[in-house]
Structure 1
């Protein structure tokens, strides 16, 4: 008998085990207290394939607490050779069984535990399920089967009459549940969610540092308005102004503040075209009205001002209002912090971002609805392989065929959707394609409409209201212009991706249209029809949810069904799509000019305004290309832009050799490994000198704590104390270290006389700092300043351990030392010739155990050998860095991934010494798989 515990984590889930078991078993028997559509949908393909292979199955569930979804029962009933029975519970007898039984030739696999048939139980909940594999004749197996069959015989067969009666009962219970929920939601019991707490803590930290402005960036529907109300509740301003451009948002914001702050003894009023309640303590105004009335208020009339939809604040109306008022604190909130042609929203709020919540964060924190994504191979006869993304009309023409509509409808009915009414958004190539799809769907029984930027706002609102209306027959809206605010429909339960993915940005924005939370909406269904176009692999970049990636990590993500995505999010691609994307990833070079040029061109289509774009523009768009790849290819972002745009101002700027070298040297700081240098330089752009104490305060804008020794090291790093002579000759010195003070040089003063030069320097520093904050948050300072799972070069270890000599000496050897810190840099898969010659055996044996062979000349008795062997007694710390391959793309060395500190468990041999080491913290499951498996 074999036993094991099944839990849900990055490397294993109950869903994965059930899917594999359905593929290999002869028969199956499920018995669960309840099922819902979210769980059934995830198993549809596996059950369907099992039935196609001639397997039979039984699924037993119950009416316990009326949690079983009748829609899930009806969908299961449609599958031939699956028998469904329902145990009817009463007040004296419940039903709480959770068991999954798989029959094989001579054995049974039995899973008994805590998981019902829901997507959370199958993928993300904390669940314990015990799996036992045993021969058929064992007493335990016989007892389980006997009990199962006794329950089965006590059930009702799922007949149409039974299902109709249960549907009526279920609907009645569902009508009562929302009322019960409302009774529990008294405002005094409402507490900030995870995102709101993080934002409020950072706002408090920034105010403590004397800041008077800050920005909160988070997707629509993640609770920004509640966060602002919570912060106001904490600050308790006497007077508040809440500004926004849309009146419907204004009304909801006022309701939120009144609901949460009704005990604060404050009055609430509106200032709009129709309401003039300007004397209220807390005034909620639209910008059009305030732009004509602001002079009637004194500049200090409000202690706290909130600018909602803050990406509009660069507009003249907003600027007049912002420049008039002088509140104690000003908060901007936005989901889309794109730069206008006039200014960056980050600049307008003094570069203080309290929090930036991207889609992956919002999913992890449960701020948006999870999604079930199904990647489906498109119709075989449609060939897009010879077309570029710019050939929109021809792509649309080839997609407008009846066979494709049949294909889409087949999968639409197969996977279904949650909820009574289908509320679908279909994203199309162009207007012609959208109209074609709406016509075809309507003719085939799914009432549909087409919307685009050509339609007036009133028409868009009318169509959207119809889709939201449960009683209206309209079920699907096909759209083209995804940037239109009118296509944001909270109750959407199905998204159809009907166009080739040209950009991860577009994909994420399309996906986001359906992720708004809505009462009764447990998840969003996404059907993506993946054709044979040359850049189908962009779907993997979009789904990956991680802005910075390499080819190997993407391949692992695809092969594992993006197991790292949080919560009950589910990504499932069919075999053909998976193999196509893996093959394209193998062929693609993410560092080639061809790929970088295509990424830039796609970004250019999406980015409003004219180039040249700044680095911060890439930071504001989720799914944007990583501009550090542009820098690594061309030396600096400006050098890359000059190749793309061929504009005279760019080439003239780069013709200034000293400026170009200085800009290039700053560009090479990216991505920042610590924020200290960039934070100090931002101050030096505004003042000629900076003391150690002032430098500490600058760093504290980005860190929870700061080490004075590291601040001094950063100041001396900027003064080129740790460059060798060759490096100094290649870059001009911008600052000098004079008697504990950092002073700008004449070279830097000259640059700062040119406003254009200043703006590009600010852009590098701002991008570096905001990217660091986005990746790590406001972390505590420590030495060495490493973060597990982050990529580093050897030289970074010198910087981050405050090495006091030339940093260029940190190279070549796999073992580097700074004081009591020992850095082990290891290639897991070595070049064959090197491996044969040196016979190294370096291996991650398990998530907690690492085998390492020392340099070939090390003896146990040597000083370095003793320092490693007895490192704990001597106070030495061993830091492990690994990389899977020295190179993934030709002539492009890969960085190393920091796995944390290790301790020596045992050792043997001479020259080299073979060590067995234990990691302080286990390698996360997905990273372990990425490092140890070939895809």
Structure 2
């Protein structure tokens, strides 16, 4: 939505890229682009193509008012002539410009322009002053999104490639900013008056059918560079040319037998695709179906929307002022105007009483898809698990909740048991995921951190054995102590120093460090970023402060994919949903004992890509110093860190090389057996013994 963009009040070519920083973000969030401009060249389309593609995806369109490029002789003829003569001269001028398109435009841009006009996604009208002494010289752009938020930009910039070279500045006005709505309405009304030929200063001419036909002929030069907006009958189906893998077919068959169940599939093996295939199969069986998808983070909504469109669904994203629009869509669905309803939202919203109240009005069959369903066992999200949804799919690489048996039970009771388990080793063996090497990097706690860890462990143990389960205050305090203790490992003081040393070594030994991910602990990302900048590394941060909206995040990820950004630093916001197969390397600085986190992170780098033989995973593993005063707590630290090591090393190409790295420290504490204990082995042992 436009409201989610972090828009400045003024943009200028001295400090900003007007296309990338302003036009592309605005077009990407809009359903209407209304432009009045003195000069327009189709070369501008090439520069803004990324934003225009998103406008098309949003089922939007563009209306452009501009001046024809008339010669002085033509102007004189129009001044003397009547309306018919003016039309004739205008037609001839534009016809000549169309004839020049084939020579002046690249084939790609020419085809794009032709298709946009053919599909009526972009429409031109031409304005000529009634006084015949000047031309249409206003430069204003109006953007509107599906929630009716509006933005107006006003300034001296023309929509031409040459315009990008001038010293230009643009003022930005937003409908949600105090005192700016009247300004926006005035500009919108002015554009509408000119467009409809109701302005007292201009004559407005439509593009003739002959001119349009001449331009549309260029569509013969290439395919439509975007998904067709033309509605097709029975288009809800698995995309052409796509075939389900054997294990996906098995999941579909098993689910259709039970009509509910969990797809327990390794990250990167196609959970989203499989669930959409199930939705198609179910829709064809029941003939009318509402689908509700919820995901843990807002950026995943856009990914679900993009994937669902490939299957022919028309997704409705619940963001911004969603309520009235959703009520309207549900009414149309209930009245039989639509056979499908596809709603995408977050776990937070799907658990909200207002959302539940609205979707409870849906008549008939509802399929609920819980993406990363392990989240839904938490108290605040489990309110979403209502009986109204008679068909259910849970998706997760790690459906069991870590140290939350009650939450795990909620998930299984609601979604049902697993209908498929497809683990990482099978995916690698069958070449659906790439192989990888695992490099543990040992980081020692200092004696102060070890002492603090011991002190917190003593408090946790004392409270754990004494407090009652229904003691809310005691539970909150226990959680705080556990978080404080975990922070000691996540933010171990030696990590930054060791990381710098190892990254310099990594840089020295690799021809290219492109497509590298670095996972940081909360509060540490700025330190790591500064360190990489000192090493002259082109690195960008993705966190909730630097990239507050999905568009900012997408821009950085696009540059990362192209190799324009070498390294991305992230925290938890990329644990789910990042799909960049070209990622080659990952450094994990944020240590955790929760398998959900590190299994998801490993999955980020294992998607196959061209010229990617294997991926590399560098993991900073915290170990205690040898201090006989703290022997027991030192063992506890290793018991928390080693299961992650065991999981990561277990499927690695260099499994035994990695083991040699940690074996000496384990021998000193007589803990060699930890080499083969996976996270859930330790979990079961601790639950049984009530250890922490």
What's the TM-score once normalised by structure 1's chain length?
Answer: 0.35
What's the TM-score once normalised by structure 2's chain length?
Answer: 0.45
